[in-house]
Structure 1
């Protein structure tokens, strides 16, 4: 397959995972157990740096490429296999430090072509994930760092990568970093007619913050595919003041009641163990795709499952497979990912149509 066909832009992070025998380290640093925290501000970030240094110095840690878009891109490459490296390109911003270098090394190992802006003043975004209590507790703490410092000039300097791609993917998270660049790509996809632009709703809170809501609503008309989960879709419906009782109604409204600049817009909503719901503009029909049942004891980590679904879906879509096969592969990838520690996948993709 040709290189650089999928172009993703997002907030690159490096996940740093440690499995702890007890929770003394968590208590020492005053972290909220089994919760996710994002630190902002000078003092908080200094505290985080101290915590990170102590963790890396005293515990065995595992490094995994993180960030919602990167999770999807490396799953996409996993689906395509090791003989198709570099079909996906990842753009974002990292720091000029050891963690930025490690992130680039790891994403290349995952088959993704990195094209990162380097910010010399801000540390690479990292996320500490502490696994404790026999794998029952997952305590995380992150700084977004340089990921928020992306500037459009880097996109403009590397715009040949955009011209070369035929499929684009971003997350609503990135609208808080550089929405101008996102719209530049979306408009390019629209003008090119045959190019596909995809968006992930990212998180419930996106729909309640002004800095995200306005660009999100302006971006959806450019989208060919919008991905999300049932909580994000419900938050979107609340933001729009839609009076709905069923998730199927939300999916239909998302497909039909927002302007579409493209001929087709597909809304694809995951619901954990419940069927995937899919709707297309111009129709009130909702397709439901059942997911594979999996025992609770097989589930190790659900973080990034939605990203894995998107990567699996796009891995088949780029090969011109049917909607049903794309969804089936998305379900397969998500199911595989939740049986691993951290957002990782088995060595080979054994998906079969």
Structure 2
């Protein structure tokens, strides 16, 4: 089955953040109690991190936020403007202006809520091991102020309802579970596809209740091996084997009769996909160390490539293949950025 792309086909929600990216030493991570391949929300002990990062290291400023990254990549693949719509909250400031400009340039139809009380959120992207490991520390600021009232405005609700596919990062669980459930329930009632991402290990543990409220609605679940294992521990699944976890997670209670598809990436190792009773593995091409510039955004890019083909009704193999190809491209660049579209054959 193939489908035709149209404007507003996929609706996404998440935390729009400006990434402040730099290569740092391990001492910097230790100073702020950070791990090499992890993602956390900033707290009081990280107050000086952003200033120190900007003063001591050569920083790049890149439009980020997991869902927004994914939608920018999807737009890059399909080369048709406004196939995707995105909602989240930013401040009325310079960083917010940069984020909005980058998203619109990429072809995403952004409908932000604007906060007058908080600045646009930022995310420190700390690269170690020559770019092969990335530690994320997010200061949500305005992103945390998103409210379901914005989603329920008639003009925004109409955009949500005209979509056929939905994608929300797990990070949004900390912001507005009401918005997530509003979207999820609409998707369920209308027989549309609702997808989410585990996004970070801490979400599986600290936001377990919110995650499990949304879980029965999830038709398509993404995550990486670290998140999968944390999810398994939190839910006492009794295994750290990622394939087994994917099979078990696919069987978690679900509102609709359509089997849940679970897609787990494992960095340079095979991508694992469980769909109904079927399990598939897909190899990832091995890159030379000198080809790896920055792994930040690789997971977001994989989802963007996967969903681009998924919207077109392409087979699972094509979806995964496209996801892998665009994530490989992102790893070769700084941040979730891509090369010239003409130079990359995504399918």
**Superposed pair shares fold, TM > 0.5:** yes
What is the deviation of 1:80? 0.7
- 1:206 maps to which residue? 203
Q: Tell me whether 1:93 sits opposite 2:89 in the alignment.
A: yes
What is the deviation of 1:39? 3.0
- 1:234 maps to which residue? 229
- 2:64 maps to which residue? 66
* Distance (Å, rounded) in 2 between the aligned partners of 1:37 and 1:173: 10
Q: 6, 9, 19: which is aligned to 2:10?
A: 6
- The alpha-carbon distance between structure 1 residues 246 and 161, as it changes in their structure 2 partners (threshold 3 A), is same
DSSP-derived class of the 2:113 partner? strand
* Distance (Å, rounded) in 2 between the aligned partners of 1:136 and 1:228: 18
Q: 291, 295, 299: which is aligned to 1:302?
A: 295
DSSP-derived class of the 1:300 partner? coil
Q: Tell me whether 1:324 sits opposite 2:304 in the alignment.
A: no
Q: Tell me whether 1:348 sits opposite 2:344 in the alignment.
A: no
Q: 176, 193, 196: which is aligned to 1:196?
A: 193
- The alpha-carbon distance between structure 1 residues 271 and 59, as it changes in their structure 2 partners (threshold 3 A), is closer
Asked if the contact 1:255–1:267 (Cα under 8 Å) also holds between the matched residues in 2, the reply is yes
Matches for 1:174-193 after TM superposition, within 5 Å = 174-193=172-191
* Distance (Å, rounded) in 1 between the aligned partners of 2:164 and 2:71: 14
- The alpha-carbon distance between structure 1 residues 264 and 118, as it changes in their structure 2 partners (threshold 3 A), is same
Could you state the TM-score of these two structures normalised by the residue count of structure 1?
A: 0.86
CA deviations on 1:254-277 (whole Å, 9 max, x unpaired) are 111433434121011111122111
Asked if the contact 1:221–1:262 (Cα under 8 Å) also holds between the matched residues in 2, the reply is no
* Distance (Å, rounded) in 1 between the aligned partners of 2:115 and 2:210: 25
* Distance (Å, rounded) in 2 between the aligned partners of 1:295 and 1:161: 43
Q: Tell me whether 1:170 sits opposite 2:168 in the alignment.
A: yes
Matches for 1:25-36 after TM superposition, within 5 Å = none
Matches for 1:118-157 after TM superposition, within 5 Å = 118-129=114-125, 141-157=137-153
Asked if the contact 2:132–2:295 (Cα under 8 Å) also holds between the matched residues in 1, the reply is no
What is the deviation of 1:173? 1.0
**Further displaced range: 140-149 or 305-314:** 140-149
What is the deviation of 1:293? 1.6
DSSP-derived class of the 1:153 partner? helix
* Distance (Å, rounded) in 2 between the aligned partners of 1:9 and 1:139: 23
Corresponding pairs, count: 335
Extract unaligned runs of 5+ from structure 2. none
- 1:39 maps to which residue? 42
* Distance (Å, rounded) in 1 between the aligned partners of 2:185 and 2:41: 32
* Distance (Å, rounded) in 2 between the aligned partners of 1:173 and 1:232: 12
Alpha carbon RMSD of aligned pairs, Å?
A: 2.7
Could you state the TM-score of these two structures normalised by the residue count of structure 2?
A: 0.87
CA deviations on 1:70-107 (whole Å, 9 max, x unpaired) are 111111011112xx111111110111111111110111
DSSP-derived class of the 1:170 partner? strand
* Distance (Å, rounded) in 2 between the aligned partners of 1:7 and 1:262: 23
- The alpha-carbon distance between structure 1 residues 296 and 19, as it changes in their structure 2 partners (threshold 3 A), is closer
Asked if the contact 1:256–1:280 (Cα under 8 Å) also holds between the matched residues in 2, the reply is no
- The alpha-carbon distance between structure 1 residues 231 and 140, as it changes in their structure 2 partners (threshold 3 A), is closer
* Distance (Å, rounded) in 1 between the aligned partners of 2:104 and 2:60: 16
Extract unaligned runs of 5+ from structure 1. none
DSSP-derived class of the 1:100 partner? helix
* Distance (Å, rounded) in 1 between the aligned partners of 2:228 and 2:152: 33
Asked if the contact 2:134–2:295 (Cα under 8 Å) also holds between the matched residues in 1, the reply is no
